[in-house]
Structure 1
Amino acid sequence: MTYLIGVDCGGTHIVGQTWTTAPEHLVQSVTGGPGNVVLDYSAAVTNLTTVLDQLTAAIPASQLGLILIGIAGIETAGRADQVQQTITQRYHANTQVISDAKLALLNGLAGADGALVIAGTGSVVYGRQAGKFLRVGGWGYVLGDEGSAYDISKRALKQVLTQTDNGQTSQLTAPLLAQLKVTDIAAAVQKFYAQDRQTNAQLAQLIAKLAEQQNSEAITVLVTSAQALAQQVVTLYQRFAESWPQRVALSGSVLQHNRLVRDTLTTTVHQSIPTIAFNDITTNNAHAVIYWHRWTQEEINS
């Protein structure tokens, strides 16, 4: 019997799962604390090993075939090798450390070629073709993250500022001031800069609600943000070789809960690539360990 362990280390929590391969069967699932190595490396590794300790406790070491770990922020932190070495030494097992986005790509496409679009607090577009990974966007809330909740919030406040500079009052001014609990534009800007990324991103929920109420400026913000993300999908596909893969998986709170953003994204992409089929990710991304294992076995046998 061969056991595989997949771990999805997200910013809010870690999910680890143990799977068998023949037949494919979920043996155990364990949840732990935050796993973002950028925010707190020591705490993230401690939470990770706590989960792995539970998953490996009942597995004979000789039967543990692979530990696949997807970690939020690992590419930014540049500490994948460090984490991999730590886990390998602790559990004496073949260990691979990748980004949580790549983990989601493998899971969302069931190991097949294609693309993944994530739009939550941040955003990124990933692709995989013939064993190679490609990335577009995901450069953080200051330089990118188009289509994300933070991007929507930022675009909304910029709309207010643009109207203010023109001597006009935006339809978004009063709702945003009320949400930020301030009374003037200068105070709104000051508070936006002072708040953390997560708190600012929550303003997107207000914009979504206003759009549902047919607020034209809120609708424009959502559509423009979604179109920017859709362009990144098109850019990714332009980097694919011929015989483009046709599947795109969608993930993240914005794409799951905001129908206007989702519909704008898919419609805009279809204008350039009408044959693409979109699908949602319905299982935890720790399941990707199954597909990584299949992929590596195919490479060995080819």
Structure 2
Amino acid sequence: MSVVVGVDVGGTKTHVRVARGEERLVDLVVPSTGWSAQPSGAAARWIAERVRAALGRCRPSLTVADVAHLTVGAHGCETPRQCVTLAEELRLLLDVSCTVVNDAQLLVPAAGLDEGIGLVAGTGSIAVGRHRETGAYLSAGGWGWVLGDDGSASALVREAARALFVRADVGATRDPLEPRLLASFGAENLVELASIMSWRGGVETWGQHAPVVFRALDAGSQVSRAVVTAGGGALAELVGNLVYRGAVGTTVVVAGGVVTQQQALRNALADALERRAPQTTLRMLDEDPVEGAVFLARRSVATGRAALAPTRSNAS
């Protein structure tokens, strides 16, 4: 049976799975520290190092020469050009047949479905689907933690801090979120919090503070409640936009650390989705997203065709 490798490169962690037929040979999970989809050459070397490490853990040890196909779901690969370029770099580097897609494209096949909308709400947020007529992949969101990614861990913290700053400007009473968020960032006051978030560590560190928002919600924070409700609404909006643009399927497969770990956000998403896209149903992914990469790799071996890359097509 053919050996295939699936890789899920997320914003926080990377999962490499080596499989032969239906047998899982090795799972390697490592932090995504240092990952960037650009430049493609450096990204390919980053992935190749982790693929080789996973193959080396097989018993007996395997090399890339044993791999029939490699499929990578890569956080930050948003366009066909990015996906194709990274795949070519990996082919040149590893001399192996390779497909690269956006990491959100792994969710629907990981759930064992042929069609549907994948929604990620973790370090960032993005929704992906496939056009019902052309088959082109569609995406909404995924614009980054500074300008977008609403509903993600990073954006929830961003919006929580902004809400506290607005309350301070109008002289509102202190919300239970304020002391908790200050303590989480090690800030003595809101002025220092603004400085830390702006200049120390960067936005890529914001997401780790998201649990504080939910703990404050449990303590009665109205700011946290408003932020979480808006975050769930933003995620539903991504799905609704894809439905409007012609995405096929009625199941929304959801994954990502913040949405899987926080019931309050899941509830807000479900409530908003009933209003924005009532024809859809939510399904929390109960399988590792990397299984979607393995599925696509197996399919590529069986059909001799690579998976389709995503596109920001405006087809409707």
TM range (shorter): 0.7 to 0.9
Pick one of 194, 211, 218 that aligns with 1:212: 218
Pick one of 253, 260, 264 that aligns with 2:257: 253
| DSSP-derived class of the 1:141 partner | coil
Aligned partners of 2:7 and 2:15 also within 8 Å = yes
What is the rounded CA distance, in whole Å, between the counterparts of 1:59 and 1:137 in structure 2?
37
Aligned partners of 2:16 and 2:28 also within 8 Å = yes
What's the counterpart of residue 125 of structure 1? Answer: 127
Q: Which amino acid aligns with 1:148?
A: S
Pick one of 84, 88, 95 that aligns with 1:85: 88
For residues 152 and 133 of structure 1, do their structure 2 counterparts lie closer, same or farther at Cα, with a shift above 3 Å needed? same
Q: Which amino acid aligns with 1:263?
A: N
What's the counterpart of residue 67 of structure 1? Answer: 70
What's the counterpart of residue 9 of structure 1? Answer: 9
For residues 166 and 11 of structure 1, do their structure 2 counterparts lie closer, same or farther at Cα, with a shift above 3 Å needed? closer
What is the rounded CA distance, in whole Å, between the counterparts of 1:19 and 1:120 in structure 2?
26
Over residues 48-101 of structure 1, what are the superposed CA-to-partner deviations in whole Å (9 max), with x where a residue is unaligned? Answer: 34336536954794x74321112222338x654454234323443321122222
What is the rounded CA distance, in whole Å, between the counterparts of 1:269 and 1:118 in structure 2?
15
For residues 262 and 112 of structure 1, do their structure 2 counterparts lie closer, same or farther at Cα, with a shift above 3 Å needed? same
What's the counterpart of residue 160 of structure 2? Answer: 156
Aligned partners of 2:64 and 2:94 also within 8 Å = no
Displaced runs of 4 or more, over 4 A: 293-300
Range with greater deviation from structure 2 (170-179 or 140-149) = 170-179
What's the counterpart of residue 308 of structure 2? Answer: none
| DSSP-derived class of the 2:78 partner | helix
What's the counterpart of residue 313 of structure 2? Answer: none
What's the counterpart of residue 202 of structure 1? Answer: 208
Pick one of 270, 280, 284 that aligns with 2:284: 280
What is the rounded CA distance, in whole Å, between the counterparts of 2:198 and 2:105 in structure 1?
31
Aligned partners of 1:114 and 1:129 also within 8 Å = no
Over residues 152-200 of structure 1, what are the superposed CA-to-partner deviations in whole Å (9 max), with x where a residue is unaligned? Answer: 1111111111112213234133333333333332222111112322432
For residues 174 and 75 of structure 1, do their structure 2 counterparts lie closer, same or farther at Cα, with a shift above 3 Å needed? same
Which runs of 5 or more residues in structure 1 are unaligned? none
Hey, which of these two has a bigger chunk of helix by percent? 1
Range with greater deviation from structure 2 (167-176 or 231-240) = 167-176
What's the counterpart of residue 136 of structure 1? Answer: 140
Aligned partners of 2:55 and 2:62 also within 8 Å = no
| DSSP-derived class of the 1:15 partner | strand
Which runs of 5 or more residues in structure 2 are unaligned? 306-316
Q: Which amino acid aligns with 2:164?
A: V
Q: 2:36 matched to 1:37?
A: yes
Aligned partners of 2:9 and 2:73 also within 8 Å = yes
For residues 50 and 104 of structure 1, do their structure 2 counterparts lie closer, same or farther at Cα, with a shift above 3 Å needed? same
For residues 147 and 93 of structure 1, do their structure 2 counterparts lie closer, same or farther at Cα, with a shift above 3 Å needed? same
Root-mean-square deviation over aligned CA pairs: 3.0
C-alpha displacement at 1:7, in angstroms?
1.6
Fraction of identical pairs, as percent: 22
What's the counterpart of residue 115 of structure 2? Answer: 113
Q: 2:32 matched to 1:26?
A: no
Pick one of 208, 217, 230 that aligns with 2:236: 230
Aligned partners of 1:159 and 1:170 also within 8 Å = no
C-alpha displacement at 1:135, in angstroms?
0.4
Q: Which amino acid aligns with 1:264?
A: A
Q: Which amino acid aligns with 1:118?
A: V
Q: Which amino acid aligns with 2:4?
A: L
What is the rounded CA distance, in whole Å, between the counterparts of 2:281 and 2:129 in structure 1?
14
Over residues 232-251 of structure 1, what are the superposed CA-to-partner deviations in whole Å (9 max), with x where a residue is unaligned? Answer: 1111111125xx41111111
